Amino acid sequence: MKKQLSLFLLLAVLAMLLCGCNQYDDQYEDVGFLTDGTNHYATILWAGYTRTDKSYALRAGSFSGVNTLRSFAVEEDGTLCEVTSTLVANQGEAKLLVVNTVDRTLVAQWPLDSQDPMTVILPAGWYELRIAGKSAGFQGELGLMLNGQPLEWDGVWDTLKEMLTGTGESAMGKSIARLRDSFAEEQKAA
């Protein structure tokens, strides 16, 4: 009796976990959801690590939603952004996205199994490389280059520090300016 109850509970928990992983599947094509700046996802067995060749190895047993893989700054207009990927979806659907973080627009997207070159010319600004999935299982490696120079995956903290302490047209600077303007307008209205 105890074994049957234990088996039933184990199956119930497993079913709940599997059902929870597809809660974002209906938003796979929703551009607002994919670009809003928040990571919304449910996953089972997500793992990733930086390789010595500056690429990033990634694996997910099941992934639904959207997650930021790397934030990066483009310093000059006309910068060539190249994403190299050996990621292969073994179930569901998944795609890589480049998102402009200042105006929250989708700049480029490629399905994981794409045979097309994953390149885009970017103006100066702040961007994110994101992954979106629809009950997707995948594995492989990613690389990100700007004008032929590989970006290190471990450099994410340096990029965030630059965003927070930088001046000029950084995403953080623009956000703070918008908040100040909104506050000033509220003060004038009062």
Q: Can you give the pLDDT of all 190 residues of the chain as single tens digits?
A: 666 656 555 444 444 444 445 678 888 999 999 999 889 888 888 888 888 887 899 999 999 999 999 999 999 999 999 999 999 999 999 999 999 999 999 999 999 988 778 999 999 999 999 999 999 999 999 999 999 998 887 654 444 444 455 544 444 455 555 555 555 555 555 5
pLDDT on residue 98: 97
**pTM of the entire predicted model:** 0.72
Distance CA(118)–CA(145), nearest Å, equals 11
Report residue 129 as tokens.
């490389």
Name the region of 104 (left: φ>0; alpha: ψ -120 to 50; beta: rest): left
What's residue 18's pLDDT? 47
Helices vs strands, H then E, count in the chain: 4, 9
The pLDDT value recorded for residue 177 is: 55
Residue 151 contacts residue 72 (beta carbons within 8 Å): yes
* Chain-centre distance for alpha carbon 69: 4
Query: What pLDDT does 21 receive?
Result: 57
pLDDT of residue 115: 76
pLDDT at 110: 95
- Per the listing, tokens 């290190």 go with 152
What pLDDT sits at residue 173? Answer: 52
Q: For tokens 């006309």, what's the residue? A: 78
* Spatial distance between the Cα atoms of 66 and 130, rounded to a whole number of angstroms: 7
Q: How far apart are CA 91 and CA 190, in angstroms?
A: 56
Closest C-alpha among 104, 171, 110 to residue 142? 110
> Cβ(145)–Cβ(82) under 8 Å?
yes
Q: How far apart are CA 42 and CA 56, in angstroms?
A: 20
Q: Give the C-alpha separation, 73 to 171, whole Å.
A: 10
pLDDT of residue 9: 52
pLDDT at residue 55 in the model: 86
Tell me phi and psi for residue 114, to 5 degrees: -65, 135
Per-residue model confidence (pLDDT) at position 181: 58
Q: Is the Cα torsion angle 167, 168, 171, 173 positive or negative in sign?
A: positive
Q: 3-class DSSP state for residue 111? A: strand
Residue 166 is encoded by which pair of tokens?
Answer: 């930088």
